Structure 1
Amino acid sequence: MEIEAVNNFVDIFPKFDTINKYPKYTLGVSDNELEEKIIEKLFEIEGEDKVRISVHAKSYSNVDELYFIIKSKNNPDLQTVCVSDINSAVDLLPYWNSNKYPYGRWTDQRVNNDNNNIIRTVSDYRFHIQEGKILFWEKLYNFPSMQFNKSSGKINERIGAFDLETYGENNGLGISKVYAAGCAMNDGYKAFYYLNENNLNSSEEIICSMFEGIFDHIENNPNDLNNYTFFAHNLGRFDSVFLIKSLVNLGYKIQPRWKDNDIIIVKITKGKFKITLLDSIKLIPSSLAKLLKSFNCEITKGHFPHSFVNEATLNYIGSKPVINHYFENINDDTLKIYNSLPAVINLKDECLTYLRSDVLGLLEAMNKFSRFIFESYGLNITNYKTLPGLSIDIFGCWFYNKDLDIKMVKGPIEEFIRQAYFGGNSNIFVGTQERFVASGYHYDLNSQYPFAMKNAMPTGNPVFTNNTDINYYNIGFVFAHITPPSEDSLKNLFIQKREVDGSVSCPRTTFSEYISTVDLRQGLEYGYKFEIVCGVNFPDSCEANELFGKFVDSLYELKSTAKDSVTRSVSKLILNSVYGKFGQRENENVIAVMEKTKAEALILKNHINYVAEINDNFVLVKYGARINERLRSIYLSEQSEDLISNSFTKARGIPSAVQISAIISSYARASINPFKNLENVKVIASNTDSLILDTKLPENLINNNLGSWKLEHEFIQGIFVRPKLYCYTDINTIELIRKAAGVDANKLKYADYEKLAKGISITTEQKIFSVNWQNLTVEIKNQTIKLQGI
Structure 2
Amino acid sequence: MVPSKTSPNRDTKIISMDLETILINNKHIPYLLSWYDGNITKSYFIDSIENNIENNIENMISRAMNDICIRKYKNYKVYLHNFAKFDGYFLVKYLSKLGFIDNIIINKGRIITLKFIYNKYSITFKDSYLLLPSSLRKLCKSFNTQTQKDIFPYLLDDINYIGEVPDYKYFCNLEMEEYNNYKSNFKVWNFREEAIKYCNLDCISLYEILYKFNTLVFNKFELNINKYPTLPSLSFALFKTKYLKENEVHMLSGSIATNIRKSYTGGSVDMYIPLIEKDSKIFIYDINSLYPFSMKSFKFPIGNPTFFKGDITRINKDAFGFFYCKIITPEYLEHPILQTHLKTSDGIRTLAPLGSWEDMLFSEEMYNAMKYGYKFEILWGYTFESKNIFSEIISDLYKMRLEYQKSDPMNYIAKILMNSLYGRFGMDDNFTFSDIMDKDDYFNFEKLDRNNSILDVTELNNNNFLVTTKNPKVELDTILDNGSEKHDINIAIASAITAYSRIQMSKFKNNPNFKLFYSDTDSVYISKELPEELVSNTELGKMKKEGICDDAVFLAPKVYGYKDINGKATD
Q: Give per-residue Cα distances to partners, 1:623-670, cap 9 Å, x unaligned.
A: 22479xxxxxxxxxxxxxxxxxxxxxxxxxx98300000000000111
Q: Which residue matches 1:228?
A: 76
**TM-score, length of structure 1 as denominator length:** 0.66
Please state if 1:383 is matched with 2:216.
Answer: no
State the match for 1:297 in structure 2: 145
Confirm or deny that 1:674 pairs with 2:507: yes
The 5 A counterparts of 1:436-455 are 438-454=280-296, 455=298
Aligned to 1:458: 301
Distance 1:474 1:271, change over 3 A: farther
Write the mapping of 1:302-451 to structure 2, written as runs, cut at 5 A.
302-309=150-157, 313-327=158-172, 329=173, 334-343=175-184, 344=186, 345-403=189-247, 405-430=248-273, 438-451=280-293
- Closer/same/farther in 2, CA of residues 506 and 361 from structure 1, 3 Å limit: same
Aligned match of 1:525 in 371, 374, 384?
Answer: 371
Rounded Cα–Cα distance in structure 2 between residues aligned with 1:547 and 1:589: 31
For 1:249, the equivalent position in structure 2 comes to 97
Q: Deviations over 1:684-709 (max 9, x none)?
A: 11000001011000111111211000
Contact 1:234 1:281 in 2 (8 A): yes
Q: Residue by residue, what CA displacement relative to the aligned partner does 1:299-326 show, whole Å, maximum 9, x if unpaired? A: 11111111112xxx21212222232321
2:517 matches 1:684: yes
Q: Does 1:485 align with 2:330?
A: yes
- 1:486-508 per-residue CA deviation (whole Å, 9 max, x = no partner) reads 43xx4322111222222122222
1:694 matched to 2:527? The reply is yes
CA distance in 2, matches of 1:623, 1:349: 44
CA 1:599 to 1:526, structure 2 compared with 1: closer, same or farther past 3 Å? same
Whole-Å separation in 1 of the counterparts to 2:250 and 2:224: 26
In the other structure, the counterpart of 2:59 is: 205
Counterpart amino acid of 1:426? V
1:376 and 1:562 map into 2 onto residues whose CA distance is 13
Distance 1:149 1:209, change over 3 A: farther
Aligned equivalents of 2:472, 2:255: Cα separation in 1? 21
Q: Which residue of 2 aligns with 1:119?
A: none
Asked whether 1:192 is paired with 2:51, we answer no
Aligned to 1:132: none
For 1:470-619, what aligned pairs fall within 5 Å after superposition? 470=313, 471-472=316-317, 474-487=319-332, 490-501=333-344, 502-538=348-384, 540-542=385-387, 546-563=388-405, 565-603=408-446, 604-605=448-449, 607-615=453-461, 617-619=463-465
Does the C-alpha gap of structure 1 residues 592 and 720 become closer, same or farther in structure 2, counting only changes over 3 Å? same
From 563, 566, 569, the equivalent of 1:729 is 563
* Aligned residue in 1 for 2:484: none
Pick the aligned partner of 1:169 from 15, 24, 41.
24
Aligned twin of 2:479? none
Aligned counterparts of 1:211 and 1:229: Cα–Cα separation in 2: 13
Instruction: State the distance in 2 between where 1:625 and 1:720 align.
Output: 43
Q: 1:196-242 CA deviation, whole Å, 9 max, x = no partner?
A: 28x99722211111111112xx33x4xxx311111100001111112
Question: Distance between the aligned counterparts of 1:612 and 1:485, measured in 2?
Answer: 50
Unaligned runs of 5+ in 2: 474-486
| CA pair 444-347 structure 1, distance change in 2 beyond 3 A | same
In structure 2, the residue corresponding to 1:314 is in which secondary structure? coil
Mapped to 1, the partners of 2:128 and 2:460 lie a distance apart of 26
Partner Cα distance (1:251, 1:500) in 2: 43
Deviation of 1:288 after TM superposition, in Å, equals 0.9
* TM, length-normalised to structure 2: 0.90
CA contact (8 A) 2:276 2:551 kept: no
Q: How big is the shift at 1:601?
A: 4.6
Cα–Cα, structure 1 residues 616 and 277, in superposed 2: closer, same or farther, change >3 Å? same
Opposite residue 687 of structure 1, the aligned amino acid is: D
Give the C-alpha shift of residue 618 in structure 1. 3.6
Separation (CA, whole Å) in 1 of partners of 2:278 and 2:270: 16
SS at match of 1:727: strand
Question: In the aligned structure 1, how far is the partner of 2:275 from the partner of 2:504?
Answer: 29
Alignment of 1:69-218 (within 5 A): 146-170=1-25, 174-186=26-38, 188-196=39-47, 202-215=56-69, 218=70
* Higher Cα Rg, which structure: 1
Is 1:276 matched with 2:124? Answer: yes
Q: Residues of 1 paired with 2:308 and 2:229: CA distance?
A: 38
User: Cα distance, 1:534 vs. partner?
Assistant: 1.1
**What's the offset of the Cα at 1:256?**
1.9
| Equivalent AA in structure 1 for residue 360 of structure 2 | Y
Structure 2 CA distance for aligned equivalents of residues 426 and 253 of structure 1: 42
The alpha-carbon distance between structure 1 residues 619 and 376, as it changes in their structure 2 partners (threshold 3 A), is: same
- Deviation of residue 730 (structure 1)? 2.0
Question: Taking structure 1 as reference, are residues 695 and 260 closer, same or farther at Cα in structure 2, changes over 3 Å only?
Answer: same
- Aligned residues: CA RMSD: 2.3
Cα distance, 1:460 vs structure 2: 0.4
For 2:167, give the aligned amino acid.
V
For 2:477, the equivalent position in structure 1 comes to none
Structure 1, residues 320-350: CA drift from partner, whole Å, max 9, x if none? Answer: 22323212x56xxx22211211255222222
**1:513-565 deviation digits (Å, cap 9, x = unpaired):** 22111110000112111111111111x222xxx30000000000101211452
**Structure 1 residues 626, 525: closer, same or farther in 2, change over 3 A?**
closer
Amino acid at match of 1:423: G
Deviation at 1:412, TM superposition (A): 1.3
SS of the equivalent of 2:508 reads helix
CA contact (8 A) 2:113 2:126 kept: yes
Offset from partner CA, 1:248-282 (integer Å, 9 cap, x none): 22234444210111000010112541111110000
What is aligned with 2:554? 720
Q: How far, CA to CA, are the matches of 1:477 and 1:681 in structure 2?
A: 33
Q: Which amino acid aligns with 1:476?
A: G
SS in 2 for 1:364: helix
How far, CA to CA, are the matches of 2:504 and 2:3 in structure 1? 30
* 1:732-770: CA deviation from partner (whole Å, max 9, x where unpaired): 4x31011xxxxxxxxxxxxxxxxxxxxxxxxxxxxxxxx
**Shift in alpha-carbon separation, 1:509–1:284, aligned structure 2, 3 A:** same
Contact 2:22 2:29 in 1 (8 A): yes
Match of 2:478 in 1: none
SS of 1:239's partner is helix
> Aligned partners of 1:600, 1:477: CA distance in 2, in Å?
46
CA distance in 2, matches of 1:436, 1:381: 53
The 1:473/1:614 distance shift into structure 2, 3 A limit, reads same
Amino acid at match of 1:373: V
Contact between 1:181 and 1:206, CA under 8 Å: does it hold in 2?
yes
Q: In structure 2, what is the Cα distance between the partners aligned to 1:617 and 1:723?
A: 45
Percent identity over paired residues: 31
